[in-house]
Amino acid sequence: STTAASPLSPSSNKKEMAVYDLEAAVETVALAEQIDAWTVCFMFFISLSGHSIMEGVAIGSQMQPAWDIFIAVLAHKGLVAFALGFELLSTKHNLSTIQYMLTISTFTLMTPFGIFLGWLLVHGDSSSDDGNSLNVGVFTALSAGTFLYVSVVEIISHELKTHKHQCIKCTSLLVGFSVFGMLAKWV
């Protein structure tokens, strides 16, 4: 005769604990993935905002109107805003409309803030002209380094991780470098 395990038997408790542990582990992994997705999204926002501030500093720190830098910033600003908006709207973040609007509005204000900051740092102290040319060079170098860092580390490396359409991606990268190289030569 076989005896059925009572609800309070040790084997029943072990099975219930195993099921409970498995459910807890699944919930923990799901929460970690959600937190990780939000952290990645937030860091993307922070890096693009810092990039936008540096773009603004590059424009604001110039001694004369910087139409070439302005056109370069304008050429990609819409694409950067689209990338941020697309990332924020992805279903894995579950942002409310107010959170979305606050994030995009804050991002929108970063370049004008950078322009003001660059202007203030270079033109705020008009007693020294030698210091102003050094400041212009430093801020232009910082903004150029930020452009290169964001494009190489954040965007290009991410795109080249996947092997789908690798030839098209590499060709587009070379064409883009060539076009902007020629534009830099002429401007």
Q: Which residues contact 17 (CB under 8 A, 6 or more apart)?
A: none
Between the two ends of the chain, the Cα-to-Cα distance in Å is 94
Identify whether the C-beta of residue 52 lies closer than 8 Å to the C-beta of residue 115: no
Identify whether the C-beta of residue 47 lies closer than 8 Å to the C-beta of residue 151: no
pLDDT of residue 176: 84
Kindly list the averaged pLDDT for each block of 10 residues, start to end, along the chain of length 187.
49 54 57 63 83 83 77 80 83 76 91 88 66 69 75 74 84 86 75
pLDDT of residue 106: 93
pLDDT of residue 1: 46
**pLDDT tens for each residue of 86-126:** 888 875 667 788 888 898 999 989 999 998 988 887 777 66
- The tokens describing 26, both together, are 């699944």
pLDDT of residue 23: 61
